[in-house]
Amino acid sequence: MDIPTDVWGQLALEASQVYLTEGGMRSPFANTTIEKLPDKVLLNIFCYLTHREICRMATVCKRWRMVAYDTRLWTHVSLRPEISGLHVGSLESLLALISIRFGPSLRYIELPIELITHTVLHELAAKCPNLTHMLLDFSTAMQLHDFSEMQAFPTKLRYLCICLSEVIFMEGFMRKIYNFINGLEILHLIGTYEKVEEEEEEIYEVINVHKLKSATPNLRVINLYGINFVDDSHIDAFSSNCIQLECLAVNYCNKVTGSTMKTLFQRSRRLTCLLMNGCSLQSEYVMQVEWEKSSIQELDVTATDLSTECLIDMLSRIPNLRFLSAGQINGFNDSVLKAWLEAGTTR
């Protein structure tokens, strides 16, 4: 809401009168206003604001503008309008921001499809040497930019999140970045589960998981969320190459049946977290896993069709389970809880 200028003046007058003593002398604090705050304090205050609010503060005065543009306020940036409210109108403006405002301070950035170009990625690689976290949103894409001339990509990434499109094949882009992402530790591939319509449509494998796993041997966390083409072969592929794997999430990947779970646990001895909400797990595959030898501590099997027998067998053999999510399972009943408690494996 806009407040008329004369109202602000009235408030300022009333505030100044508060500092008058009974003898008519002004209090020593009468001139203590926000204008007197040092830049360091203003900077700390601005840290609690969103970037959209910081941009509004930059219009107050020249001094506040200088504080608002301090690179220390721009270490984590989302340029997705629906998330942050920030919209960059042109590539030229973004390139200027990367060079002048972001620079070496930038640690995390989110880019929408219209800003994902080889020029922008080149500039990020050249001007932002400390960039370690990146999100690339291709979810609304109907066609990709031309990446044939892309020769550079941020090389210090530890975290990469890619929001996939239903219809755009990513291999042309992914082929260009494989050589730059072998240091990745956390990978999120976000599918289109929430956008799927009831009508059956043709499913496209829009990203080559088998090639991706070869380029990312150091992954500790893999999150494949709501990807309609992901199945057990993709889990097997990652487990064959990512020996440091600690967390695997395949929530809402309904083609996953668990047929490679036994092999997964044999290869991934460090695996402590497994999230399989909404998967099409089959009890016979889950019961084949050597749970007693696993390091699993967190398990999510919500909305699966596991049988009572399978749940009893699994829970009584997991030695260090600390978190369990098992809602919306018809087979989870009192007998499961009783057997689990009697096994003495609860933590």
Question: Residue 316: which of 340, 296, 299 has the closest Cα?
Answer: 340
Question: Residue 306: which of 322, 286, 290 has the closest Cα?
Answer: 286
Phi–psi pair at 339, nearest 5 degrees: -65, -40
Rounded distance, CA 346 to CA 324, Å? 10
The tokens describing 59, both together, are 């219009």
Rounded distance, CA 255 to CA 257, Å? 6
The per-residue pLDDT for 14 is 55
Phi–psi pair at 153, nearest 5 degrees: -160, 150
All structural domains of the chain = 74-343 (3.80.10.10)
Identify the three-state secondary structure at position 263. helix
Question: Residue 157: which of 190, 179, 189 has the closest Cα?
Answer: 179
Q: List per-residue pLDDT tens for the chain, 347 residues long.
A: 444 545 555 555 555 555 555 555 666 656 667 788 899 999 999 999 999 999 999 998 999 999 999 999 999 999 999 999 988 989 999 999 999 999 999 999 999 999 999 999 999 999 999 999 999 999 988 888 999 999 999 999 999 999 999 888 999 999 999 999 999 999 999 998 866 555 556 788 999 999 999 999 999 999 999 999 999 999 999 999 999 999 999 999 999 999 999 999 999 999 999 999 999 999 999 999 999 999 999 999 999 999 999 999 999 999 999 999 999 999 999 999 999 999 888 77
Rounded distance, CA 254 to CA 151, Å? 37
The tokens describing 65, both together, are 């503008």
The per-residue pLDDT for 1 is 45
The reply to whether the predicted model has a pTM over 0.75 is yes
The per-residue pLDDT for 8 is 53
Query: 72-98 burial, b for 16+ CB within 10 Å, e for fewer?
Result: ebbbebbbbeeeeebebeeeeebbebb
How many other β-carbons are positioned within 10 Å of the β-carbon of residue 101?
Answer: 16
Q: Is residue 174 a contact partner of residue 148, using CB atoms and an 8 Å limit?
A: no
Rounded distance, CA 166 to CA 175, Å? 19
The per-residue pLDDT for 298 is 98
